[in-house]
Amino acid sequence: MGIKSWAGVAALALGALGIASAAQAGTQPYDINVVLPLTGPVAFLGKAEQIALERMQTQLQGANGIGGRSVHFVFHDDQSSPQTAVQLASQLVVSHPAVVLGSAVVALCNAMSPLMSHGPVMYCFSPGIHPRSGGYVFSSSIATRDLLAAQLRYFLAKGWTRVAVINSTDASGEDVRHNLSALLPLPEFNRIDIVAKASFNPTDVSASAQIERIKASKPQALIAWSTGSAIGTVFKGLADAGLNIPVATTDGNMTYAQMKQYASFLPNQLLIPSPEWLPGAPSNAPQGQVVAKARLFGSFREAGMKPDAAATFAWDPALLVVKALRKLGPTATAEQVRAYLASQKEIYGVNGRYDFKVFPQRGLGDKNVYITEWDAAAGTWKPVSAPGGKPLS
């Protein structure tokens, strides 16, 4: 065979290899990096969110993925440590991904977010951060201020105006203090009298002294704002002190695992302001939200599980960024994803209709909030208010 013939064969072979490589590249999974506390004090949240993303991943295979590529969530354990979260985020930013998901709580997200000022899009799973409008950082679920506003409306409608507050001294606890300071002077809430304030270190094994001071102030209701083992410390202290009043806490504690772990000393009336993920809330949900909920509950049902609030913190953000990447294609840049999300005003998730024009970086507001109460007999939460906090009875 002559040189030209060999050259032709070689060209054909190289062409075939090129086609094969391209085809192989087209079938490679689309990786989305996720930073989560899979160990450490807030691992209860991180692990629940990991499970939610793993369930979603089963629905995002092949043609159901991004540009024909299956979605693969790549998990990185920040160990519940802001320092580790920063190290992981620094490593990820170098590779210029369009999106990074996580982490799970305020301190971890606040540590990571400065690294994302020019991208990638970072979708934090905590509702307790407050990203700059128009930036690359987004926050899951409903802002602490809006959760509290609905809860305070519920208190007022019930005639509970003497309210005490106890919070942990970490970023989540300080967030509630800041937002209460902003809400209470408003005419809508000026009948609320904060009769006692207390704080405790989240590593403390007891908050009995603080709770005895609260009990002495004779409150009608209590806001207890912390997550994980720290809220268990508060619940145990309330039971030991015999302080039997309605207790409101963050939806960061709206997990079946915690309700089971603290069952022997949960408050008799445990209230949690929540977005709309619960079945039947709202009763007139738009079709897009009905479909989103069916996918969430159906996916968990297939695995013999049921989702809780922790699952939704991860589910909707992942759903939203996947929608963006499907629309823009797998080569989309961080700026394109940011701009796409910022432009959306009618995109549905399990928590309602997202409108990023009205609620930048978040998409949801206080009209998406229901007050729920833990029903120990039913083993789940039941809505006890209309949207915004007006009691059902």
Tens digits of residue pLDDT in 70-128: 999 999 999 999 999 999 999 999 999 999 999 999 999 999 999 999 999 999 999 98
Question: Which residues contact residue 78 at a Cβ distance below 8 angstroms, ignoring those fewer than 6 apart?
Answer: 35, 36, 37, 84, 85, 88, 102, 103, 108
Provide the pLDDT for residue 119. Answer: 96
Q: Which of 214, 223, 156 has its CA nearest to residue 190?
A: 156
Residue 27 has a pLDDT of: 78
Host H or E run for residue 315: helix 309-328
Alpha carbons 311 and 232: distance in angstroms, whole number: 20
pLDDT at 378 over 60: yes
Separation CA 240–CA 233 (nearest Å): 11
Percent of the chain whose pLDDT exceeds 90: 86
What's the CATH code, domain 144-274+369-383? 3.40.50.2300
pLDDT at residue 14 is higher than 60? no
Residues 6+ apart with CB under 8 A from 272: 248, 249, 250, 251, 253, 254, 309, 371, 372, 373, 374, 381
CA distance 252 to 340: 28
Average pLDDT over residues 195-202: 95
Sign of CA pseudo-dihedral 277, 282, 283, 288: negative
Q: What is the three-class DSSP state of 320?
A: helix
Q: Where in the chain is the domain with CATH 3.40.50.2300?
A: 27-141+284-362, 144-274+369-383
- Enter the tokens of residue 262: 């603290």
At which residue do the structure tokens 């299956």 appear?
70
CATH number belonging to the domain at 27-141+284-362, selected among 3.30.56.10, 3.90.1570.10, 3.50.50.60, 3.40.50.2300: 3.40.50.2300
Q: Is the bond preceding residue 120 a cis peptide, omega within 30 degrees? A: yes
d(Cα 318, Cα 301) in Å, to the nearest integer?
19
Q: Give the orientation angle of helix 43-57 with respect to helix 309-328, to 10 degrees.
A: 40
Q: Count Cβ atoms within 10 A of the Cβ of residue 318 and give its class: 0-12 exposed, 13-18 middle, 19 or more buried.
A: buried
Residue 18 clears pLDDT 80, i.e. is over it: no
CA-CA distance, 49 to 144, in Å (whole number)? 19
Give the distance from CA 346 to its chain's centroid: 20
Verify cis geometry, omega within 30 degrees of 0, for the bond prior to 140: no
Q: Taking 70 as the threshold, does the pLDDT of residue 368 lie above it?
A: yes
Q: Percentage of residues in the chain with pLDDT exceeding 70? A: 93
Only one residue has tokens 């159906």, namely 298
Amino acid at 163: V
Residue 40 has pLDDT above 70, yes or no: yes
For the chain, what percentages of helix, strand and coil (3-state, to nearest 5) are there?
Answer: 45, 20, 35
The mean pLDDT of 371-385, rounded to a whole number, is 96
Comparing CA positions, the residue from 324, 304, 298 lying closest to residue 71 is 324
Give 139-194 pLDDT, tens digit per residue: 999 999 999 999 999 999 999 999 999 999 988 888 899 999 999 999 999 999 99
Instruction: Report the mean per-residue pLDDT for the chain.
Output: 92
Banded pLDDT at 8 (limits 50, 70, 90): very low
Can you tell me the distance from the alpha carbon of 150 to that of 80, in angstroms, rounded to the nearest whole number?
29
